[in-house]
Amino acid sequence: MINNPKLLPIHIYGDKVLRQRAKEVEQLTDDIKLFINDLTHTMYIRDGVGLAAPQVGVSLRIFVIDTEWFKTDEKNPKVFINPQIIDMEDEEINEEGCLSLPNIFENVKRYKSIKIKALNENWEEVEYYAQGFLSVAIQHEFDHLNGVLFVDKIQQIRKLIIKKALNDLASTTDSEGNNIRYD
């Protein structure tokens, strides 16, 4: 790890950056390397298992995932740059949450297993076959790169039930469309 990573502010529901299609990363510059380090640090500090660049206000196709660290206390972040889901199989329903939607947890239907290819933090091509929680986390973070949030995928009745909670979250959005949480 590079020294002194920064804690980045989380953009929450209502913020326009969460609804944009993030841009491809064209090359691995020093700035991008530092950013990935900050993104990873922020995921751990905020107790996340995944964090996508748009969630910290950076509209680039990058996310990090570590679905095991809270069980083992060992940190093994997986970095995905310009990811592509190249295969998917079967479906399953799991409860999800998101750092950009604090205190909201809902059931979402996802593919049970997927194959994904991406570039890693060293700009090497990597391919993963993922199942279970890792597969869910990858699909959730991948959606963030396309401006999609997990609450877009829940049942209509549940959408109605959590409508007020969503409106409350969005109510702190400023006139420029930013809704940033600093705590």
Choose between 98 and 114: whose C-beta lies nearer to Ni ion: 98
Q: For the beta carbon of residue 174, count every other beta carbon within 10 angstroms.
A: 10
How far from chain centre, in Å, is Cα 57?
12
How far from chain centre, in Å, is Cα 162?
21
- In SS3 terms, 128-176 reads as EEEEHHHHHHHHHHHHHHCCCCHHHHCCHHHHHHCHHHHHHHHCCCCCC
Q: Identify residues 97-136 at the interface with Ni ion (CB under 5 A).
A: 98
Q: For the beta carbon of residue 147, count every other beta carbon within 10 angstroms.
A: 16
Choose between 8 and 98: whose C-beta lies nearer to Ni ion: 98
Q: Is 145 in the site for Ni ion (CB under 5 A)?
A: no
Smallest distance from Ni ion to CB 42, Å: 13
Contact, 180 vs 15, CB < 8 A? yes
Choose between 53 and 98: whose C-beta lies nearer to Ni ion: 98
**Does the annotation count 176 as an active-site position?**
no
Smallest distance from Ni ion to CB 174, Å: 21
Choose between 21 and 122: whose C-beta lies nearer to Ni ion: 21
Site string for Ni ion, 59-98 (x = CB under 5 A): ---------------------------------------x
Interface residues toward Ni ion, by CB under 5 A: 98
Q: Which residues are catalytic?
A: 141
